[in-house]
Structure 1
Amino acid sequence: MPENKHENEIRVISNEDYFAEVQRILREGKEVRIRVKGNSMRPFIQDGDTVLLRAYSGPPLPLGSNILAKENDKFVFHRFVGKKNGQYILAGDGNLVLREYIAETDIIAIAYMHYPKDKELSIAIHLPWARLRGLGWYYIRLLRRIVLKFKSLTQKN
């Protein structure tokens, strides 16, 4: 039996309130560990995994970094894949087409560590090899789309 009768209760808060608190903690100079929701960062980061964030303090932002940003009033956790016309381009690793274009002021934090939910390990995702692996995955998006289309066509027969 839990010592605190509220210990096992689940509380739901809005994304706006949640990320307001995340940003407040980051502004205090502290790191924040958040749970990733959704499949946009697959295969490297899965739904339910957690990542450790540090506040973004300005350039340089290493290409391939996993970042938390605000894009059109929603929060996204995606990979920084390039710059165009002064805007930062983000893409989810699991996304084959879409990209977000944001201003530097929309970048909230950079992820440094990844903690898979079903393993007892941590992965330093800010290191060059991890960033390059993610960028490589991004740059073969066309090939991944072709393979996926071919698979869907062969499974229908």
Structure 2
Amino acid sequence: MSKTVLTTSEIQFANAEFLPEVVKILNEGHTVTLRLRGYSMRPFLENDRDKALLVKPSSIKVGDPVLAEVNPLHFVLHRIDSIEGDNVTLRGDGNLGVEHCKKENIVGAVIGFYRKGRKEMDATDAWKWRTYSYIWTRLLPLRRYILGAYRRIWIPIFGTI
């Protein structure tokens, strides 16, 4: 009897090429699980470790994590910091600065995260995420120091996983 050996490979694309296709899939009503790239949502979401489950946004509010096109073909996954009319201000949990877009440029809403290789999703409407969000968003003046300690002390000792 012969054995069939299956192999898998991973292909990486630039966000400017890949994310417009993700937007098309979301607009068709499908969900998309997206591996996170970048460090803007530290300390709780890590580059190339965690995944986000996205849907087409139906309504947005302050505090929601969203995928937005802030410039042509430049997408970010950040939390909504404020909404004033049609203007939306976004801030990554690991960022001190903000980015801006229009409501129409919010292309995906995050309904949950798969963190640290877990199979169970941390839903953004569950108590765990809401509690974390409540605390973290109010620590804005102290984030610089917390993130600095995380990068300089925690990661060298314990890593990101």
| Band of TM-score, shorter chain | 0.7 to 0.9
Unaligned runs of 5+ residues in structure 1 are 152-157
State yes or no: 1:55 paired with 2:56: yes
Query: Unpaired segments of 5 or more residues in structure 2?
Result: 151-161
Q: In structure 2, do the counterparts of structure 1 residues 148 and 41 end up closer, same or farther at CA, with 3 Å as the change threshold?
A: closer
Identity of aligned residues (%): 30
What residue number does 1:81 align with? Answer: 81
Contact kept, 8 Å, 2:89 with 2:99, in 1: the verdict is yes
1:110 aligns with 2:113: no
State the Cα distance separating 1:81 from its structure 2 match: 1.5
Q: Which residue of structure 1 lines up, in the alignment, with residue 125 of structure 2?
A: 126
Whole-angstrom CA distance in 1 between matches of 2:44 and 2:147: 18
| Counterpart mapping for 1:12-27 below 5 A | 12-27=12-27
User: Is the 2:61–2:83 Cα contact (8 Å) retained in structure 1?
Assistant: no
2:22 and 2:32 in contact (8 A); partners too? yes
State whether residues 62 and 83 of structure 2, in contact with CA within 8 Å, keep that contact through their aligned partners in structure 1.
no
Alignment root-mean-square deviation, CA: 2.5
Distance 1:37 1:150 in 2: 22
Q: How many residues align?
A: 145
Using structure 1 for the length normalisation, give the TM-score: 0.78
User: In structure 2, what residue type is equivalent to 1:33?
Assistant: T
Q: Within 2, Cα distance between the matches of 1:117 and 1:31? A: 21
Equivalent residue of 2:20, what SS? helix
Q: Which residue of 2 aligns with 1:2?
A: 5
With over 3 angstroms needed to count, the CA separation of the structure-2 counterparts of 1:28 and 1:86, relative to structure 1, is: closer
**Change over 3 Å in CA distance of 1:36–1:147 after alignment to 2:** closer
Shift of 1:141: 1.6
State the match for 2:155 in structure 1. none
TM-score (ref. length: structure 2): 0.77
Cα 1:148–1:62 shift into 2, 3 Å: closer
Alignment of 1:134-153 (within 5 A): 134-145=133-144
Kept after mapping to 1: 8 A contact 2:70/2:105 = yes
Q: Contact between 1:65 and 1:126, CA under 8 Å: does it hold in 2?
A: no
